[in-house]
Amino acid sequence: MAELKTNVKAVWNGGTAGDGTLKAGNLDTKIAIPKFLNGSGNGAGPKELLVSSATTCYIATLTSILENRKLPVVEHTITSEAIKSDQEFSITHYPVIVLSADATEADVKSAERAIEGADRACEVGNLLKKAGIVIEAKGKVSLK
């Protein structure tokens, strides 16, 4: 497997109530400690960044699968939800795939399988699963 190297630079201003910036490749965002932890809340917090990474990986993987299957996709979106309890940290992806009105039943079934396949193939998700984070995908396929 080829080596993958990613460089991230963070700059912080002030104490816990301060904020900062995070830059990596095409990413350039404000970061901060959440208000509930006595931070400013004026930027993305660590959990938001973690879930955003898992979501980005999932939808990119799903996009690739849908394209490789040459499905008549009109649009696809995803909403992800993270829940932290005393027992676990979990992420649930809710992808919605809209196929063209002339899609076949086989196309719909293939899109439904793609939802599961993207969960199994997403590298970030698989790394998080190895760390004990529970990740699942609960998707919906419809026609337009």
The residues spanned by each domain of the chain are 1-44, 46-143
Which structure tokens are listed for 130? Answer: 């190895």
Q: Which residues pair with 80 in a beta bridge?
A: 93
Tell me: the pLDDT tens digits for 24-34?
Answer: 999 999 999 99
Using alpha carbons only, give the angle 83, 88, 90 rounded to the nearest 5 degrees: 40
pLDDT of residue 115: 98
- pTM of the predicted structure, to 2 decimals: 0.92
Q: Which CATH number fits domain 46-143: 3.40.640.10, 2.70.70.10, 3.90.600.10, 3.30.300.20?
A: 3.30.300.20
Kindly state the tokens that stand for 137: 């995908």
- What is the pLDDT averaged over residues 32-49? 95
Is the pLDDT at 39 greater than 90? The verdict is yes
